[in-house]
Structure 1
Amino acid sequence: MGFPTSVADEVLVRCGRHCCLCEKFVGQKIELHHIKQVADGGEDTVDNCIPLCFDCHAEVKAYNPHHPKGRKFTEKELKGHRDKCYERYSLKNEKADDSELNSKKMKRIFPPHENMSLIRWGYPEQEKLCPIFPGNMVLIAGCTGSKKSTYLHHIVNQNIIAGRRVAYCCMKDKPFDVSIEIIGENVHVNAEYIKRGIMTEEDWGKLTGSPSSLDGENLALIPYSEVSDSNKILELIANSEAEIVVIDDFNGISLDGTDSIEQFFYKLKNIAAQSQTVIFVIYNLSIPNRLDKRPMLRDFPTDNYYRLFDIVQFLYKPDLFYNDEEEKERLEVIIVKGALKVPYIINLFAPDKITGIFSLTK
């Protein structure tokens, strides 16, 4: 005797037609298994039911107590797998009132878009070489010390000043520290001097007399606790109404247990395209074991880390590896994907941080 329709409808909704063991979505290829067999007194109830795919159902039923090999699925274990699956895929709180549900949903950070504006790099030469379009995903990669965050702080500054809304995911630093770094980049003052309160009169003059000011209403600094896993990142992009979302950096994201890197990037690309949000992702590469330390695509663990991005750039600071005073203020921005003509190396020279004049070489 099978389960009644009322039981089948309830359990299939609660698992979303996912197998409760392997958690694959199997659609029609799903069966309802009696956790305690009918022959042993099991009933056709929701509590005694576990939805399984064909393969897992065969696996659970395959154990032969007369010729034991391996470990049998116990009733308690099956219920544990089932309840975990229900918790993941069912609306457990469907009876909760609207206010409770709304309090748990990622809230909108900015008002709805009135019109979409172009996103800028803030470096004139790069605007020509590598335009950014709404919904693009941009990957900035380099080893520790290559000024990836500082580079992004400049881009964030330029877009905030232009009135664009930025949600900055603080993956490795506290929001307060990130805000100081962004302010320091904006006025060309060492952020450490601001944090420690040891600014010179000249620094104070820059801080208080800057002709361009940051608009706090256009910048949201999101702490790590709110964006620590991939699902939270996707919710932020979908609901925040930000024009730019910065993930600083990807190494700190915990992927949902059912997602691979490739699946997450597909979801990220889809949501970016739907919301027309530009996504900047920082990725920290290991120092390569070769004479030329400039990063290359093969330094990523797999091509899944860059294949779905619209723009990929490497940052490289020669002075990290070679003792040459002339190289101290040089940052190479190597555009490997997304430029009008690739590859290019952009050399940025600046007396303070990395804002300054471009020198372009093929």
Structure 2
Amino acid sequence: MSSKVCMILVWFFVICLLVVGLVMVSSTAAWAEETKHPYEPLFKQTAFACAGLVGAMILSRIDYRIWRKYIWWILGGACFLLVLCYVPGIGKEINGERRWITIGMQFQPSECAKLCMMMALANWLALYRDRTTSFWWGFVMPGLIFGIPLALILFEKDMGTSVALALAAFCVMFVAGTRKIYLGGAFALAGTALYVLVQSNANRLERFLAWKDLDAHRLGAGLQQYRASIALSRGGLDGVGLGNSAEKHGTLPFAHTDFIFAPLGEEFGFYGTMFVLLCYFLMTYAGIGVAMQCRDTYGRFLAVGIVAIIFCPAILNIAVVTNAVPNSGLPLPFISFGGTNLVFTLAALGMLTSIQRFSTGAQPNCEITRKDERSIDVRL
């Protein structure tokens, strides 16, 4: 398939997921405690989707290579926004996590940081593409580039986003040629670090213990996953029908956000959940097709990163809802209620569209070349 066909398929499956998301938000969010009007969540989610699509349209018409001139400023700005989560009066703590800031409006800087991290990581790996097998240039430096903002997100107690971003970064490094032994060692080190973090935090430890014995913790830390399993089993093959979910009526907390996959399975059954999974996999497959046909190394790595920051959180969210992994609090891209994730995920797809549009005409003098190890020359 041509890159244009692949990009059309990406957007086709994204629109399918958006439609499913709007339907499920309309069905579940009306019963949430904070909802004042039954149609308020649907109106908000529709507005977020429109804003994200407008942002995607704008980014799709801007040559993605232009942003490389400002890449370190972009990454620095993302880190600055993450630091603001800890500033009193600006950062806001919700459910024990400091993910949000309020500057005119409330949003999650980590969602913005995802794309910025991938842009910086792709830039470095493309710049030093002839040294990606070395320990320093192909592993340590890229690790620092995504590790600093990742640490800021982790300190927000947002372990789910941190794990998903780490997996996405490793995907890009693997494609770029980083040696497998380095990535394997990093996985082992990350696993050890996660174990220490879980053991040192009572809330995380309780979630882990609940995952190991869900029935014993069904009224405590395991409540969400326990009720989600009931919802999925009740849905069976065909589901109970749109609007007929029982778990969304308060027994399943956050049924319209992090655990929206459970009422989706309850209302549309096994076939509905498989349709959603198929959309994610085919969207990812088509996105990788765009990356493989990209003539620009930076664009190829960035395309892989964009696809990964959508696919990894989606799979982790579904794994949490189906109790395959401990509860980590991740939204389901395009489907969960929430503005920041939806807007920035669609914006990232706009940049993927830009890669498909402009990479086919890439010429050698449009690349960033390395003059030496301290400076780069951008020739556009």
- The structure carrying a bigger helix percent of its residues is 2
Larger radius of gyration: 1
TM norm structure 2: 0.25
- The structure carrying a bigger strand percent of its residues is 1
* Higher RCO (C-alpha under 8 Å, 6+ residues apart): 2
TM norm structure 1: 0.26
